[in-house]
Structure 1
Amino acid sequence: MTVTTLLILLLVGAIATYFSGDKLASKVALLFSIVSFVFSVYLLNMFSTGGNINYLSEWISYPKVYFALQADGLSMAMVLLTTALTPLIIFSSFGNKFSNSKSFYALVLFMTFAMTGTFLAADGLLYYIFWELALIPIYFIVLIWGNGNANSRKKAVVKFFIYTLAGSLFMLVAFAYLYQKTNSFLLGNLFNLKLNSTEQFWIFSAFFLAYAIKIPIIPFHTWQAKVYQKAPTVGTMLLSGIMLKMGLYSIIRWQIQIAPLAAKTYMPYLIGISLAGVIYGSIVALRQKDLKKLLAYSSLAHVGLIAAGCYTLTLDGLSGAVYQMIAHGFVIVGLFFIAEIIYRRFETRKIIEMGGIRSQTPKFSSMFMILVLASVALPGTFNFIGEFTVLYSISQINIWFAVIGGTTIILGAYYMLKMFQNVMLGETNVKVFADVTTNEIITLVIIIGFLLFFGLYSKPISDLVKPAINDILIHINR
């Protein structure tokens, strides 16, 4: 068995979901997503015991392109994040009704297929193809099933599509240049290239544009809040929980390894830009009156800190960034699901129109509070381990960078607790808030259970990720 089987499962699942019809689509999609997650765990076990789960086969003769898939601890961590969150996202949507649901759920699985391929690709052109394929499903998910009127959805998603496509074209040009130097797109061959400082600067910059838009890092973030707001909650979860991790993962996998000299030279500026996003996202979040937009800017602040960790080029920084990618994936999906649960009952996302929920459903209030505390990195949650490790690594480079980065905890605690107070406490809303359903409880309990378990015992993830990070650091420091 190799990782190709996982991709085939997801692709077959997307096709089967489409042909299953609208009534069965959600259940078929859930079944295939669960099977894919179980198979990912099986692949992890094979990988841990030394089994070869990689795949290499010539695909195109000229230019020479290989269907090359490679799994190490870093890519396996991202694959597991993707295949674990997908069934949760699908299951959480069972409380919603979608027109043409067979197409909706087929697109969700196809997007998962493309994102998984991005994390596994070991050939530059194959990686680029998967990277672009992931853009197509989310475009239609937002455009067809999004919130608001059709014109506003179209405006938001077209801007997102053009931004990300434009950034990706710079990356494609960089790959074309690298191919001229090596006659290969293979990961190992690109890493062994001896580029001069000027070449590294331009290659690094081309990759940076693609990744900064996808993550996003300011000032390339202007598409994010509107798209998160206009997307159906499933789309927002896919974007924030998984898709933005493609950019963060790619910094570690591709950018800093192909152009390590540029990464070292411009490290202070890269960390500074990333941390600027922490401040900006936190301040703008304070002013938001729409719950989804507040969570979108909160996400912007957190991924800014993760990007700063990626650019520290240290074991703690890179490891902490990966921990926080995983933790952020779960907590942001949980928070957007909380927003969806409230919307199902109150039919509003305006914070001012909420309130008094805690008195009606203490159970829901408790779960919401745990996710809020995880978001602000309370000790005992997995988010704390990720943020502390990143901040520690930044402090080794410049203590003032760490002080600035630490504001994500202070400001985050302020706006998240203030949001919780306005949404959950105060006077009871005139509408009755029905208690959470079994479906909603199961989804939230799984997310909370993950964050608390790995917050107390993170060794399995650390043991998986650190050897791969060590190998990357050995390569860029040789």
Structure 2
Amino acid sequence: MLTLSLFIIPLISGLILLNIKSKSLAGSISILASFVQIAVFVYALSVFKDNSALLVFDKPWLSDFAIRFHLGIDGLSLVMVGLTVVLVSLIVLAIRNLNYENIPKMLGLILLTEAALIGVFSAKDIFLFYFFFELALVPVYLIANFWGGESSSKITFKMLIYTVFGSLFMLISFVLLYMRGQSADIESIKVTVSLLPNAIKHILFWGLLLAFSIKMPIFPFHTWLPDAYSKSPTPATMLLSGLLSKMGVYGLIRILLPFAPQGIELYGEIIIVLAVVGLVYGSIIAIKQNEIKRLIAYSSFAHMGLMAGAVLTLSITGLQGAIFQMVAHGFNAVGLFYIAKIIFDKTGSRNLTQLGGMTQSAPVLTVIFMVVLLGSVALPLTNGFVGEFLMLKAVFDFNHVIGIAAGLSVIFGAVYMLRFFQKTMFGPSNEQTSSITDIGMKELIVLVPIVIIILITGVFPNLILDISSSLVNSLGLLNK
């Protein structure tokens, strides 16, 4: 029942908020719901090893078709649900203090997104997984469309079409599996897959890969991402980069690896090459960006490429690195986009050529920005180092040439992030930056927890790796 509670709390709270007009009441309800979510998750974490039955909810859904509303939490799900619960709480705290109209409805849509994400990360039925996979995008699309910038309707519609189109191939693959095995249970389908003809196994691989590749995205399915990130309002961008993109990596681990192992063995190297091409390409494009949100968008695209490549190495090191990096990148990306929003609110600009010298008026923001930046460039003893080291080792062990190319991302990442920091914080101030004020308590409430998590998980990575190891070690298809 704990898993159901984690799903129901944001679902009901979100629906209530959609019908509230009072900003203060909506803020109180959203924060209360977030704190209750954290409390329930902490309890779920405490019973994970000793009483895992409490983390399963299984009831008939479409009985005539043997489709069940089956939710459950294992090591991988626990990590991803925890990421979702904590990040959404921080996003809610941030949104309450931002200058958007109709905040109650925005908060409601954010909590509905949380409910759908928890459904994705805990679904044990393929059609339930597909339902939540599609549902998670709807409230984010509405946020981006209604509160977005110029031409937001056209850009968000492109994002919706891309992701829905990719998911149709996943649905076709699921229907094919269901018709062969007469079961929608993920564990049962793992047995069905081994009995399928090779031709069908190849269809499954490409269908599932396309859906997850677009959602992350990886090269060359990334064209929707820069505009969607730069034109969407900060809440939508936080959700897209911090959480929704992780559904693609999660799908690779949860669905693609056990359902299409032969396809990965045959074509995995090709996809890893494409992922690394995207990693290098995204990093180079990020170096050339002057618009802050587009810079962070290409940075996120590059990170997702490395995660995908590490997963497809079929190694324990690669999977553990990708899982850890999903958490690390989630917090780093949300922190960077929130800092970008703060800079814009204080200066009225996101253009690096129009900024500079902010450290003279905002030393606290400078220090926090530096910590988040160091996590993003994978400095040792920060969260970014652990995942990136494991992933690069996995790719290098898989193929030395590809690994060396992937390692260029460390250099490029340092270049574009330090350039971002130098162009905003250092140098001479101007009319836009000379009179700004430093951040206060309302920003620190969001940024300080992110800084603490960046440092704690960087120093004590086993807090996450020990939880995910139970699932990773159980995947018998791993060859390293």
Task: Identify the residue that residue 396 of structure 2 maps to in structure 1.
Answer: 395
User: 2:284 is matched with which residue?
Assistant: 283
Contact 1:306 1:390 in 2 (8 A): yes
- CA contact under 8 A between 1:260 and 1:476: conserved in structure 2? no
Write the deviation string for residues 30-60 of structure 1: whole angstroms up to 9, x where unpaired: 2212211221111111112233111111111
Equivalent position of 2:29 in the other structure: 28
Match runs of 1:350-361 below 5 Å: 350-361=351-362
Report the CA distance between 1:98 and its aligned residue. 2.3
Find out whether 1:206 has 2:213 as its counterpart: no
- Structure 1 CA distance, aligned partners of 2:146 and 2:429? 35
Task: Name the residue aligned to 1:66.
Answer: 68
Matched, 1:125 2:127: yes
Alpha carbons of 1:476 and 1:192: their partners in 2 closer, same or farther (altered >3 Å)?
Answer: farther
3-state SS of 2:204 partner: helix
Q: CA deviation at 1:475?
A: 5.0
Per the alignment, residue 259 of structure 1 pairs with 260
Q: For 1:146, give the aligned amino acid.
A: G
Q: Deviations over 1:268-322 (max 9, x none)?
A: 1111111111111001111111000000001111111111111111100000000
Residue of structure 1 equivalent to 2:437: 434
Measure the CA separation in 1 of the matches of 2:5 and 2:96: 27
State the SS of the aligned residue for 1:184: coil
Tell whether the 8 Å contact from 2:173 to 2:204 is kept in structure 1 after alignment: yes
CA distance in 2, matches of 1:197, 1:392: 31
Residue 167 of structure 1 aligns to which amino acid in structure 2? G
Residue in structure 1 matched with residue 162 of structure 2 by the alignment: 163
**Whole-angstrom distance in 2 between the partners of 1:388 and 1:51:** 31
Aligned to 1:187: 186
Asked whether the equivalents of residues 147 and 231 of structure 1 are also in contact (C-alpha less than 8 Å), the reply is yes
Equivalent position of 2:293 in the other structure: 292
Paired letter, 2:168: L
**Mean CA deviation greater in 8-17 or 282-291:** 8-17
| 1:341 Cα deviation from its structure 2 partner | 0.5
SS of alignment partner, residue 68 of structure 2: strand
Letter of the structure 2 residue corresponding to residue 464 of structure 1: I
Structure 1: distance between partners of 2:166 and 2:22: 36
2:80 corresponds to which of 58, 78, 94: 78
Matched residue SS, 2:58:
strand
**In structure 1, what residue type is equivalent to 2:271?**
L
C-alpha distance in 2 between matches for 1:382 and 1:307: 18
The answer to whether residue 472 in structure 2 is matched with residue 469 in structure 1 is yes
Residue in structure 2 matched with residue 235 of structure 1 by the alignment: 236
Q: Name the amino acid aligned to 1:451.
A: I
Query: Is the contact between residue 310 and residue 322 of structure 2 (CA under 8 Å) also seen in structure 1?
Result: yes
User: C-alpha displacement at 1:2, in angstroms?
Assistant: 3.0
User: What residue in structure 2 maps to residue 367 of structure 1?
Assistant: 368
For 2:94, the equivalent position in structure 1 comes to: 92
Alignment of 1:9 onto 2:1: no
TM-aligned CA deviation for residue 405 of structure 1: 1.0
Question: 1:10, 1:98 → 2: CA distance?
Answer: 21
Question: How far apart in 1 are the matches of 2:232 and 2:321?
Answer: 30
Check whether the contact 1:22–1:100 (CA below 8 A) recurs between aligned residues.
no
Structure 1 residue 408, shift from structure 2 partner:
1.1
Counterpart AA for 1:444: L
State whether residues 197 and 262 of structure 1, in contact with CA within 8 Å, keep that contact through their aligned partners in structure 2.
no
Structure 2 letter corresponding to 1:296: A
Partner of 1:314: 315
Q: Can you list the C-alpha shifts for 1:364-388, whole angstroms capped at 9, x where unaligned? A: 1111111111111000101100000
Q: Distance in 2 between matches of 1:319 and 1:144?
A: 38
Look up the match of 1:443.
446
The answer to whether the 8 A contact 2:316-2:478 is kept is no
Superposition TM-score, scaled by structure 1 size:
0.97
Q: Conserved in 1, the CA contact under 8 Å of 2:268 and 2:313? A: yes
SS in 1 for 2:218: coil
1:476 to partner: Cα distance: 6.2
User: Per the alignment, in what secondary structure is the counterpart of residue 36 of structure 1?
Assistant: helix
Contact 2:314–2:477 (Cα < 8 Å) also in 1: no
User: Structure 1: which amino acid aligns with 2:373?
Assistant: V
The aligned counterpart of 2:460 is: 457
CA RMSD after TM alignment: 1.2
1:64 Cα offset (Å): 2.0
Supply the AA of the counterpart residue of 2:405: I
What's the counterpart of residue 301 of structure 1?
302
SS at match of 1:98: coil
For 2:63 and 2:477, the matched residues in 1 are separated by 29
Q: 2-side partners of 1:62 and 1:280: how far apart?
A: 49
Q: Which has the larger displacement, 90-99 or 411-420? A: 90-99
1:115 aligned residue (114, 117, 128): 117
Q: Which runs of 5+ in 2 are unaligned?
A: none
Matched to 1:267, the amino acid is G
The letter of the residue matching 1:11 is L
Secondary structure in structure 1 of the residue aligned to 2:436: coil
SS in 2 for 1:68: strand
Q: Give the CA deviation at 1:117.
A: 0.3
User: Could you tell me which amino acid in structure 1 is paired with residue 18 of structure 2?
Assistant: Y
| 8 Å Cα contact 1:117-1:127 kept in structure 2 | yes
Q: Residue in 2 aligned with 1:332?
A: 333
Are the counterparts in 2 of residues 204 and 259 from structure 1 also a CA contact under 8 Å?
yes
For 1:105, the equivalent position in structure 2 comes to: 107
Question: Any stretches of 5+ residues in structure 1 without a counterpart?
Answer: none
Match of residue 268 from structure 1: 269
Q: 2:144 aligns with which of 127, 142, 148?
A: 142
Give the whole-Å Cα distance in 1 for the aligned partners of 2:101 and 2:374. Answer: 36
Contact conserved, 2:10 with 2:33, CA < 8 A, in 1?
yes
Q: What is the CA–CA distance in structure 1 between the aligned matches of 2:353 and 2:206, rounded to whole Å?
A: 43
The alpha carbon displacement at 1:459 in A equals 1.5
Count of residue pairs brought into register by the alignment: 473
Identity %: 38
For 2:415 and 2:463, the matched residues in 1 are separated by 32
Tell me which residue corresponds to 1:344.
Answer: 345
Whole-angstrom CA distance in 2 between matches of 1:27 and 1:309: 41
Distance 1:211 1:161 in 2: 14
Q: Equivalent residue of 1:406, what SS?
A: helix
Whole-Å separation in 1 of the counterparts to 2:290 and 2:66:
52
